[in-house]
Amino acid sequence: MLLGFPTNETFFMVCFSFAEGPLAWALIVWRCSLVFSSVDKTVSVFIHLLPGLVFFTIWWWDPVFFGAMHPEGTPERASWPYVENQSYLWKWLFFVPLAAYFFWQVLYYLIVEVLRRQRLLRDPEVMTSYRELSKKAKKANNMWWRLSGLLGDQNRLLMFILLQAIFTVATTALTVPIFLSYKLHMVYQILKVSASVWNGGDFLLEVMPRQVILKEKKKSETRDVTEQQHENPLQENSMKTPQ
């Protein structure tokens, strides 16, 4: 989208907030794992990681792009985007992105949970963001699963929406100091990549072996049950055979 509006300052700031706000923080909060043997996990990490890296490169390291923000004939300015005051910064990095998010959230809820509710009830295999995230949280039995159950299982969706709203407000607010500091932005990039690699290593060294052990245990139990089922008829026949 920035290719179509390369000199639009406010649009750049809004997209920066989306890329380095909730989208990027999901890598850390939801423990996305960089596991190259899993296409789903790798794609998920790239979706959350790459937009922020692109904006980091454009914002701090790309002199060609930066030069495009100062077309000939325009007055020289000390920085781009031009920040008139703190309220201008908060408006385009926090309030406008947040308004767009809440509009999307309301629209998503109406379409998925109201208009398509019967379709979802008929087919539990259809994945929504709530079903996917709650499934992961329940499987891990982590803090998010316990928090979403504070008002009971029947209100988990409501709690999920509330937690998602708090998460979005907090991570969107953090884009303001990140936008202003190169060092902080650099640390943030390192944190995102490190978290993804660490979670990937944890999955390969801890989670995957446990899954293999459980799978083999289930196979063994199934095999034992099958053998017992075969043995029982033979024992019954031997008991019925006249001596």
pLDDT of residue 64: 59
The Cα 30–Cα 242 span in angstroms is 67
Closest CA to 2 of 13, 188, 22: 13
pLDDT of residue 191: 96
Residue 39 phi/psi, 5-degree rounding, is: -65, -45
Digit-coded pLDDT (tens) for 101-121: 999 888 888 887 788 777 766
pLDDT of residue 50: 95
pLDDT means per 10 residues, the chain with 243 residues, are: 74 93 91 88 93 90 60 56 75 94 88 76 69 68 71 77 89 94 94 94 83 77 69 56 53
Its pTM surpasses 0.85 = no
Digit-coded pLDDT (tens) for 196-212: 999 999 888 887 787 77
